[in-house]
Chain A
Amino acid sequence: MVYKDDKHSFMQAMKKKFEEAPDKKQTKFYVYGGYKQNKRKVEFHDAGQQIAKERGIPGYNPSVGMPQGQRVLMPYQLSHTDIIANMDDLHFVNNAAMQQAWDDMRRTILVGLDSPHNILEKRLGKEVTPETINHYLEVVNHSMPGAAVIQEHMVETDPRLVKDSYVKVYSGNDELIDEIDSRFVIDINKEFPADQAAQLKKAIGKSMWQVVRIPTIVGRVCDGGTVSRWSAMQIGMAFIGAYNLCAGEAATADFAYAAKHGSVIQMSDMMPARRARGPNEPGGLMYGVVSDCAQSLAKYPDDPARHSLETIALAALIYDQIYLGSYMSGGVGFTQYATAAYTDNILEDFVYWGMEHVKDKYGSLAKQKPSVKLINDIGTDVAMYCLEQYELYPAVMETHFGGSQRATCISAAAGTSVAMATGNAQAGLSAWYLACNVHKEQMGRFGFYGYDLQDQIGAANTFSYRSDEGLPFELRGGNYPSYAMNVGHQSAYGGIVAAAHAARGDAWALSPHVKVAFADRSLPFDFANITKEFGRGAMREFIPAGERDLIIP
Chain B
Amino acid sequence: MTYKAQFFPGKSDPSKNRRKYMDPSYKLQKIRSVSDEDIVRVLGHREPGEDYKSVHPPLEEMGEPECPIRELVEPTPGAKAGDRIRYVQFTDSVYFAPISPYQRSWMYSYRYRGMDSGTLSGRHVVEARERDVEAIAKEIIESETFDAARTGIRGRTVHGHALRLDENGIMFDAMQRYVFNKSTGEVQYVKNMVGEPIPAPISVGKPLSEDELKKRTTIFRADGVTIRDDAEVLQMVQNVHWERSFGGFEPYKEAKF
Q: Interface residues of A, CB < 8 Å — how many?
A: 60
Asked if B165 is at the interface of the complex by the 8 Å CB criterion, the answer is yes
**A391 vs B249: C-alpha distance when bound (angstroms):** 37
User: Which residues between 205 and 251 of chain B lie within 8 Å of chain A, taking CB atoms?
Assistant: 218-223, 226-228, 233-234, 236-238, 240-242, 244-251
Asked if A438 is at the interface of the complex by the 8 Å CB criterion, the answer is yes
Q: Type the 1/0 row for B99-131, where 1 means its CB is closer than 8 Å to any CB of A.
A: 111110000000000000011111000000000
**A388 vs B94: C-alpha distance when bound (angstroms):** 13
**A24 vs B164: C-alpha distance when bound (angstroms):** 8
* 20 sampled A-B residue pairs with Cβ under 8 A: A20-B164, A29-B166, A30-B176, A71-B174, A387-B222, A401-B163, A403-B121, A434-B238, A437-B237, A438-B234, A444-B99, A444-B101, A444-B220, A445-B161, A448-B120, A448-B121, A459-B241, A460-B248, A464-B248, A464-B251
Q: Which 8 A-B pairs rank lowest in CB-CB distance, beginning with the nearest?
A: A403-B121, A444-B100, A459-B244, A460-B248, A391-B222, A388-B222, A463-B251, A469-B249
Partner of A461, one of B164, B234, B249: B249
Q: Would you call B248 and A392 a contact (CB within 8 A)?
A: no
Asked if B60 is at the interface of the complex by the 8 Å CB criterion, the answer is no
Asked if A248 is at the interface of the complex by the 8 Å CB criterion, the answer is no
Q: Would you call B162 and A25 a contact (CB within 8 A)?
A: no
Summarize B's interface: helix, strand, loop or mixed.
loop
User: Which residues between 72 and 99 of chain B lie within 8 Å of chain A, taking CB atoms?
Assistant: 92, 94-95, 99
Partner of B95, one of A25, A384, A404: A25
Partner of A441, one of B122, B233, B257: B233
Q: A24-B164, A27-B165 are in contact. List 14 more A-B contacts (CB 8 A).
A: A66-B174, A401-B162, A433-B245, A438-B237, A441-B237, A443-B221, A445-B119, A447-B120, A448-B121, A452-B119, A452-B120, A460-B245, A460-B247, A460-B251
Chain B residues in 8 Å Cβ range of A30: 176
Nearest Cβ on chain B to A432's Cβ, whole angstroms: 10
Counted as pairs of residues, one from A and one from B, with CB atoms less than 8 Å apart, the total is 174
Binds B, one of A186-194, A253-261, A369-377: A369-377
Asked if A63 is at the interface of the complex by the 8 Å CB criterion, the answer is no
**Interface size, B (range):** 35 or more
- Nearest residue, chain A, Cβ from B95: A25
Asked if B50 is at the interface of the complex by the 8 Å CB criterion, the answer is no
Asked if A462 is at the interface of the complex by the 8 Å CB criterion, the answer is yes
Chain B residues in 8 Å Cβ range of A29: 166, 172
Q: A residues touching B (Cβ–Cβ < 8 Å)?
A: 20, 24-30, 66-67, 70-71, 370-372, 376, 380, 384, 387-388, 391-392, 394-395, 397-398, 400-404, 406-407, 430, 433-434, 437-438, 440-449, 452, 456-457, 459-464, 466, 469-470
